């Protein structure tokens, strides 16, 4: 059992449930109701997110994949063919696999993720393809300190691999903190390979987050179902609508759940009032410009070296050194 100040000696699952409860109760108590987007990813939410990645409307995944496919060998040589690859939030490790193969002789791969099942399955798959590679999965939340302390020390060049535009789901302040945390893990000469979605036409952006197949709607609403089943909630998912819009001043897509009627909802024994039209803010997905990305990298101690993008400049992958 992992103890903490709020639940010493409790099983890790119970600690996570209590944290979820604290965050939901606090998030529903603020004037603009808001829930942390990390809670979108329970088992159902993770499957729905995988389905989103396959949608025509959601251009991010295929655009990033095309950039990787085209530039894989070049990236591998920029990274150094014997580097250690560290991937926070690795999930099924699908993006790292071709990169590791292209690196020819990578020293090691350390995927970090909260879900052991998915990581262990991915480890087996990659190990079969690359039998010589040392793979050490590390389980935990990469936004906390603890998990980083468990990374094996390495004399080889280390590269943190952070694709998927996950950086966009952090506020600018949190993104800076995260990159500073990454920088603290690295030594001079080490690198960061970062994927980020770029600012573009709002029609393209809004279609990606309000897809015609309604998968993103199901992904967003699943958060309410999760609260119902894990925190004894009574949300009527039919009484909420999915809303996603691009906020051009803040350069981000915001995802909300809109209450369609005036209603009261109970969660973990507490009552919450909703006016008709009131929203729960469930996610931000920040979009960057190329100069904005460079600035973020510089401010956090990195020197941007090279980037790859698609012909439409919809998406960028940056390599930066410390
Ligand atoms: C995981 N993340 C980069 C996705 C994004 O595009 O911000 C999450 C997502 N939300 C709705 N659709 C996809």
DSSP-based helix, strand, coil % in the chain, nearest 5: 40, 25, 35
Q: Specify which residues 258 forms β-bridges with.
A: 241, 279
Distance 103 CA to ligand 1 centre (A): 28
Give burial (CB, 10 Å; 0-12/13-18/19+) of 213.
middle
Q: pTM (2 decimals)?
A: 0.93
Q: Using N-to-C axis directions, what is the helix angle for 59-79 and 202-209, rounded to 10°?
A: 100
Choosing from 52, 61, 212, 281 the residue with most ligand 1 atoms within 8 A of its CB, the one to mutate for a pocket test is 52
- Residue 53 CA: nearest ligand 1 atom is 13
Instruction: Please tell me the residue having the least CA distance from ligand 1 atom 1.
Output: 166
**52 close to ligand 1 (CB < 6 Angstrom):** yes
Per-residue pLDDT of the chain (322 residues), as tens digits, is 333 344 456 666 788 899 999 999 999 999 999 999 999 999 899 899 999 999 999 999 999 999 999 999 999 999 998 999 999 999 899 999 999 999 988 999 999 998 888 899 999 999 999 999 999 999 988 988 899 999 998 889 999 999 999 999 999 999 999 999 999 999 999 999 999 999 999 999 999 999 999 999 999 999 999 999 999 999 999 999 999 999 999 999 999 999 999 999 999 999 999 999 999 999 999 999 999 999 999 999 999 999 999 999 999 999 999 9
- Interface confidence, given as ipTM, is 0.99
Distance 110 CA to ligand 1 centre (A): 23
Side by side, the strands of the sheet bearing 252-259 are: 33-34, 279-286, 252-259, 240-247
Q: Which two tokens stand for residue 166?
A: 């996950």
Distance 128 CA to ligand 1 centre (A): 30
**282 close to ligand 1 (CB < 6 Angstrom):** no
């Amino acid at each position: 059992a992992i103890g903490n100040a709020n639940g010493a000696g409790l099983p890790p699952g119970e600690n996570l449930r209590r944290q979820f409860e604290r965050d939901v109760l606090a998030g529903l108590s603020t004037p603009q109701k808001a829930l942390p987007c990390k809670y979108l990813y329970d088992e159902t939410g993770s499957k729905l997110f995988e389905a989103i990645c396959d949608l025509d409307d959601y251009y991010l995944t295929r655009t990033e994949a095309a950039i990787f496919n085209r530039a894989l060998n070049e990236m591998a040589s920029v990274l150094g063919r014997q580097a250690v690859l560290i991937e926070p939030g690795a999930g099924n490790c699908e993006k790292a696999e071709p990169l590791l193969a292209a690196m020819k002789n990578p020293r090691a791969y350390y995927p970090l993720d909260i879900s052991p099942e998915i990581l262990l399955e991915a480890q087996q798959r990659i190990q079969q393809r690359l039998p010589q590679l040392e793979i050490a999965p590390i389980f935990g939340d990469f936004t906390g300190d603890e998990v980083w302390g468990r990374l094996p020390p390495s004399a080889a060049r280390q590269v943190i691999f952070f694709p998927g535009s996950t950086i966009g789901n952090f506020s600018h302040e949190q993104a800076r903190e995260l990159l500073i945390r990454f920088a603290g893990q690295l030594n001079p000469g080490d690198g960061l390979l970062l994927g980020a979605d770029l600012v573009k036409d709002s029609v393209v952006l809004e279609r990606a987050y309000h897809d015609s197949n309604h998968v993103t709607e199901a992904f967003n609403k699943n958060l309410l179902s999760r609260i119902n089943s894990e925190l004894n909630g009574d949300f009527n998912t039919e009484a909420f609508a999915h809303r996603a819009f691009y906020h051009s001043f803040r350069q981000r897509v915001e995802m909300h759940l809109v209450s369609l009627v005036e209603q009261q909802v109970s969660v973990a024994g507490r009552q919450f009032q909703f006016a008709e039209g009131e929203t729960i803010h469930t996610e931000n997905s920040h979009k960057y410009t190329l100069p904005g990305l460079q600035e973020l990298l510089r401010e956090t101690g990195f020197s941007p070296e090279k980037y790859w993008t698609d012909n439409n400049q919809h998406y960028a992958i940056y390599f930066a050194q410390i």
